Structure 1
Amino acid sequence: MRAAVFHGAGDVRVEEVADPSPPRPGDVVLKVTRAAICGTDAAEWDHGPVLGRSGVVLGHEFVGRVVELGSDVTGVRVGDRVVSGAGISCGHCHWCLRSRTNLCAEYRTLGLQVDGGLAEYVTSPASICRAVPDRCDDDAAVMTQPLAVALHALSRVGQRHEESVAVIGVGGIGWFIVAGASRRAGDGRVVAIDIDAERLATATALGAHEAIDATGHDLAALLQELSDGSGFDVVIEASGAAHAPAAATVGVRRGGRVLLVGLHAAPRELDLTRMIVREVDIFTSVAHICDSDIPAALDFLADSDVAAVTAGPTIPLDAVVDEGLRPLAEGRAKGKILIAPGSEPERVRLEPGAVAGAT
């Protein structure tokens, strides 16, 4: 089969690899119908290995049909259309037994430590696969994993309906955080902050009440200005920018919460005394919980236009470097880049405003 294999920094090759072996007990083999890439994939290609390893097939966002079952698999049948969570957990460690599978002591990620879905076929544990509703097409379902990451992040910070929320950085996961926060906002307010006009326009389409260009502004001062000097109830840092965590702790109100989602290449300095005397709570978030976040993301995608609003081009697997990873790493990508793994895929994109899966 054809697959996109990571060999090192700047070296991802679409090449012939062996078809998956017969699945082990508990595993399924999927024929991939749609995949997607994100900043993690681009970082591996650009300057990796960062989180993954050489020789692995990339891809942790994908949807496909079950073509083969291992023994002991229940709840999934050949022919089912499913999405897979990205993380494989052991099920018996301290964290798994407390339903925090994303913190598993033996956690591995498809597409980083285990062969992933930028291929014609992929093997995944059946336990992390979930059926896709008929009303959710493949172009929407492939966004389940990143949306699940965003919904997990929001669950960590416990957003309430009446609260004001600022989201710093609205590309990639930030888009989906805006969508989730806007759906939960009720009488509250969601403000998207970025330095890119197109990303801000997408955030508005996803429900942000305000979209603010931070270019040329001191971020901490801007957060204070936007909240009339009192600070936001919740500030979510999803940009990974060096100055953003410190600004978030300044731009949150007394007794407020800061959620750190963006990954950083180096340690960052925070004013702990200022945080302590104002009782600012700091939350962090990573990955998702398959049992709760994947079904919630599927329902969200099936009943909204989130996928249509965020979708970029659909490209063939052979173009994944030049038309996918490279523009993503260089900040030139427009929308979520989808991958059709077949030999001659149709180059399509969802039209903004069209509900995914609608007929």
Structure 2
Amino acid sequence: MKNILVAAAIALVVSILLTPYLIRVFSRQGFGQEIREEGPDSHKAKRGTPTMGGVAILVAMWAGYLVAHLYSYLTKGPGVQDLPFSASGLLILMLTTALGIVGFLDDFIKIRKQRNLGLNKTAKLVGQFVATIAFALLAVQFANKDGLTPASVNLSFIRDIAVISFGVVGFVVFCYGVVSAWSNAVNLTDGLDGLAGGSSAMVLATYVIISFWQYRYNCSTVSTAGCYLVRDPLDVALVAAAAMAGCVGFLWWNAAPAKIFMGDTGSLALGGLVAGLSMVTRTELLMIIIGGLFVVEVVSVGTQIAVFRTTRRRLFRMAPFHHHFELAGWAETTVIIRFWLLAGICCMFGLGLFYSDWLGAASGQ
């Protein structure tokens, strides 16, 4: 538990202190956000606000994770095993960072070309594809002494659903769909000051609890009916805790009125992170509930497109969904807080399902 607290504390401090430095540097370099011309009029005043702040979240996440491991090594007592780096933790960090680089390139091109269009769809999909394929292929390798790999080729809800197996090739395709869906979902949610950062922090906090619970009741350490067949749950909890604290520290500067935006650098990285967490914790379908806000945002865009192409009418004033309420007259801060509440409700409901499953499994029901 101390290692998780260290990871969170270091990441929080790094994020809070690094973000204002990035604000100054990016402002001097003219790395300002371009705003959609068809967006709400109230957003046009945000043009020029520094972007690519997701760099702070990524650096804080890595710093928290590495320092927590260093702390574990320096404080281990005689006969006590230190916390080793794990395949699961490093693969999640690799996936997150790779998608952050794709997002950084997207943001950089937007800034250089002075438009709200960065990488074209093909280039962005190729970047996501390469990062995801590498993650997927490696995630089904590196079996530990119990034969567990970081990810499973089975579909999972709260545990593996053994009757639904993709095989290695099918898992790679499935993994690409999951990562692409979540990275784009968080990206779509990042449209108001602090909305994506605050919502992501809640989802990551949920995964800190889930991963730590899986560590406490891991089948390699206990032999109860409710134990979990997952690999490296404590190290995964470190990654989630560091990323959560990085989001909170960044939110200090990103809350309305934002002094910096995370940009695609942050939103694509966070989407890849939650996708990776869902796969290594065997909670892929549960993530749909935990990340319910992100799901609503994606569905609102898909529904808007489908309805407009069919009827030539708009179902919402504007998509993603949060803009609909802005154009309906809600203040931006009202939309943000109420959507945070929705995100929190989804996280609590998902965590409740996770705990209920454990109670049922532990009691043999």
User: What TM-score do the two structures reach when normalised by structure 2?
Assistant: 0.26
Task: Looking at secondary structure, tell me which structure has more helix per residue.
Answer: 2
* Higher RCO (CA-CA < 8 Å; seq separation 6+): 2
User: What TM-score do the two structures reach when normalised by structure 1?
Assistant: 0.26
Task: Looking at secondary structure, tell me which structure has more strand per residue.
Answer: 1
